[in-house]
Amino acid sequence: MLAAMQAGHRVDKYVLERKLGEGGMAEVWRAHHVELGKVVAIKCLSTRLTANPEFERRFLNEGRRQAGLRHPNIVPVIDFLAQGDDRFLVMDYVDGESLAARQKRLGGRLPLELVDSVGQDIALALDYAHQRGLVHRDVKPSNILLEESGKAYLTDFGIALAAGEERLTRTGTAVGTVHYMSPEQIARPREIGQRTDIYSFGCVLYEMLTGRPPFVAGEGDTEFSVMTGHLMQPPQPPRALNGEIPEAVEQVVLKCLAKEPGDRYGSGEELARALRRAFHPDVSTGQLPSMELPAGAATHWAAPGRSGRNRLWPFVLAGVLLAAGGAAAWFWSRAPEPPPVVQQDVPRVQPPEATAEVPPPPPPPASGQAPSGDPVQRAARPPGVFKPVKPSSAEPLAPLPPVPQEPSPAELRLRACRAMGLSEEDCLKRQREEDNRRRACLALGLSEEQCAERLKKSP
């Protein structure tokens, strides 16, 4: 069907106008409603994928999820169509271009004002989706649309994951686009959450500011080197590539790119606040705007002489106070007298009779030793001193469980290799080759950091 699609072709009640873009799974066309004339965007699933139940189910889930999202920065789905074996999603049309196209047209880097607005728009859109249990899993420039005014929209929830939902991919297979994948997407696909989208959007922010993603493959390298960078290498500071970036903005981006999810921002709203503080340090965030009184309201009570009614209020207030004072005096005059106090004779207590004096204890021996035949007498315990507590006869506490060990760098490289779909033998061969190159580099007298940088640049 897609091979026959062309301008003027009719899909149910919509007529196709021109192709907007295409990918590995689908094509997107601009179209209009036959009767209403409304302009829409229609996403058409590739014919070769409609026979695959997994992709068809994913396509239908995308429509259901996106149709349930109502946010000013998320492209809504308004219809789902089926014609024979073909499947179509009908969405609102955004008159503009993708963020990827804008970057290409402007040469990579974007103005700081645009990074500010896009960053806050998409962060809030992600926060809205996360609050409804959705993780996008594929945040990248081509899935962000921009109007000419700069307003940004998040789209393409094709591989989004709902909370508690069974994944539609093979166990251990990484899902996403390699340049924007989080470390857990590569090494621990079952542990992804909303902070995964924070990392991916951090890669997008990095690219908008510097003109390239945080990790790129060198000449002759493959996606394996990019995955290794996500897993093991710190990104180059953005200010080293673009000195115009404010330091506070750089810190926000680097926090998004933390290797551990717990070290990133906890929500899209938190990220949006951080971006606002970084780009606008003089503007407070997280507070409602102050309520200003209308003109003249602040001086209304300070100028009571403007009208005859306001001239009377001191006299009215004095009358109220006098009336209140008279009522209080009348109330207290009618209060009952307190009962008389009856004095009683208190019997005197006779002091106890004197008892025989107790002789003082004998002084201790001058030599500090007790007399022969008598045991050494200890001083009496002063009052208020607690006796020593006997040791408890309870059983000793069980030992703490062992702390889980972090995977070694070699294990992380193997996970990244397996995530690319390679066999165990091929992965071990890659690792042996990399270890041999590392040993050869160390034999030249270079440090570990110099060897790691050299291996990163070598094919």
The end-to-end CA distance of the chain, in Å, is 42
Q: Is 435 a known active-site residue?
A: no
pLDDT top residue among 29 and 413: 29
DSSP, res 282: T
Range from 4-13, 184-193, 423-432 carrying the lowest mean pLDDT: 423-432
Q: What is the pLDDT of residue 160?
A: 52
Instruction: Report the alpha-carbon distance of residue 167 to residue 54 in Å, rounded.
Output: 10
Residue 454 has which token pair? 């050299």
Distances, alpha carbon 134 to alpha carbons 253, 323, 385, in Å: 23, 67, 63
Q: What is the pLDDT of residue 408?
A: 73
| CATH number for the domain formed by residue range(s) 1-93 | 3.30.200.20
Q: Give the closest residue to 199 by CA, choosing from 248, 133, 258, 124.
A: 258
The fraction of the chain above a pLDDT of 90, given in percent, is: 36
Q: What is the pLDDT of residue 117?
A: 96
Distances, alpha carbon 160 to alpha carbons 74, 139, 189, in Å: 14, 10, 13
Strands 26-33 and 134-135: unpaired
Residue 357 has which token pair? 């004096």
Question: 């403007």: which residue's tokens?
Answer: 306
> Structural domain boundaries of the chain?
1-93, 95-283+415-422
User: Which residues, at least 6 apart from 413, have a Cβ–Cβ distance to it below 8 Å?
Assistant: 228, 231, 232, 430, 431, 434
pLDDT top residue among 27 and 240: 240
Asked if pLDDT for residue 179 goes beyond 90, the answer is yes
Render pLDDT for 290-340 as a digit per residue (tens, 0 to 9): 333 334 333 333 333 444 444 555 666 667 677 777 666 655 555 555 555
DSSP H/E element including 82: strand 77-83
pLDDT top residue among 199 and 354: 199
Range from 14-23, 252-261, 436-445 carrying the lowest mean pLDDT: 436-445
pTM of the model: 0.62
pLDDT top residue among 124 and 297: 124
Q: What is the pLDDT of residue 197?
A: 95
Q: What's the whole-number mean pLDDT along residues 232-239? A: 95
Asked if pLDDT for residue 170 goes beyond 70, the answer is no
Range from 351-365, 393-407, 440-454 carrying the lowest mean pLDDT: 351-365
Range from 92-106, 208-222, 322-336, 343-357 carrying the lowest mean pLDDT: 343-357
Q: What is the pLDDT of residue 92?
A: 93
Q: Give the closest residue to 205 by CA, choosing from 117, 95, 97, 146.
A: 117
Class of domain 95-283+415-422 (CATH, top level): mainly alpha
Highest mean pLDDT among 205-209, 364-368, 435-439: 205-209
Instruction: Decide whether 1-93 matches 95-283+415-422 in CATH topology.
Output: no
pLDDT top residue among 77 and 269: 269
Render pLDDT for 36-46 as a digit per residue (tens, 0 to 9): 999 999 988 76
- Mean pLDDT estimate for the chain: 76
Instruction: Report the alpha-carbon distance of residue 122 to residue 109 in Å, rounded.
Output: 18
Q: What is the pLDDT of residue 394?
A: 52
Q: What is the pLDDT of residue 182?
A: 94
* Catalytic member of 116, 121, 127, 138: 138
Render pLDDT for 86-103 as a digit per residue (tens, 0 to 9): 888 899 999 999 999 999
Q: What is the pLDDT of residue 55?
A: 65
Q: What is the pLDDT of residue 202?
A: 97
Q: What is the pLDDT of residue 429?
A: 80
Residue 36 has which token pair? 């209403």
